[in-house]
Amino acid sequence: MTSSLNDDFQAQRSRERESLRGTVSTLFADEPRAVLELGCGHGHFLTSLATAHPAALHVGVDKLPSRIARGQRKVERAQLNRLHFIHADILDFLELVPRTVYWSAIYVLFPDPWPKRRHHKHRWLQPHTLAALASQAAPGAHLYFKTDVKAFYLDVIKLLELQGDWALVDDAEWPDGPRTIFEGYANESYSLIAQLRK
């Protein structure tokens, strides 16, 4: 029984990955450059950004289908044909996106902090994901990060310094845009901007 369930799970995962591969191949077929938000939630922030910059391709990724559905409704209401929300695991997305695609900016806003030390391994923001983002970041691209957990913020600073592809920037400006849904729940927030070194 356990083996059968595991086989079913693996088959489902395989189908999901193949579907995602097709989605990203089609999306980026004619456009090699995009603004990326990982863990886009309901799409509130990215929709505002895409409205302000309609010529740029904007892509939001989230693993919860209900959030993607709400984001898609925003796309339809605003008639933004350069804004796309993708239901996917972030690590799968980063693995399957074509290597020809470059990120002009990357937003990571209020990801799950997994605050207990024994759970830190579940954070998707790790050295290998920072390296993957750097490998497809456009020259001079910025990485924007925000959280309401100070310890997580300090951990990400250390992570950036140790990983090495990104340099913290003190004088860069945070783009105009609304607060995210999660930011509205927070009493305070901590943010940083890093720039691709190479």
Tokens 């009493």 — which residue?
187
For the record, the structure tokens of 131 come out as 């390296």
DSSP 21-72: HHHHHHHTSS--EEEEEES-TTSHHHHHHHHH-TTS-EEEEES-HHHHHHHH
Residue 86's H or E segment, with its range, is strand 83-87
CATH fit for domain 2-196, picks 1.10.10.10, 3.40.50.150, 3.50.50.60, 3.30.450.40: 3.40.50.150
Q: Is 89 helix (H, G, I), strand (E, B) or coil?
A: coil
Q: How far apart, in whole angstroms, are the C-alpha atoms of residue 136 and residue 83? A: 19
Question: Is pLDDT of 2 > 70?
Answer: no
CA 99 to chain centre: 16
pLDDT band at 177 (very low <50, low <70, confident <90, very high): low
Question: Active-site residues: which are they?
Answer: 112
For the chain, domain boundaries: 2-196
Q: pTM of this prediction?
A: 0.89
* 126 burial level (CB within 10 Å; 0-12, 13-18, 19+): middle
The residue among 38, 34, 41, 96 whose CA lies nearest residue 68 is 41
The residue among 42, 49, 34 whose CA lies nearest residue 177 is 49
* Torsion sign, CA atoms 12, 96, 128, 69: negative
Residue 193 pairs with which residues in a beta bridge?
A: 144
Q: What is the pLDDT of residues 64-114, one digit of tens each?
A: 999 999 999 999 999 999 999 999 999 999 999 999 999 999 999 999 887
> Average of pLDDT values for 36-52?
95
Q: What pLDDT does residue 117 have?
A: 81
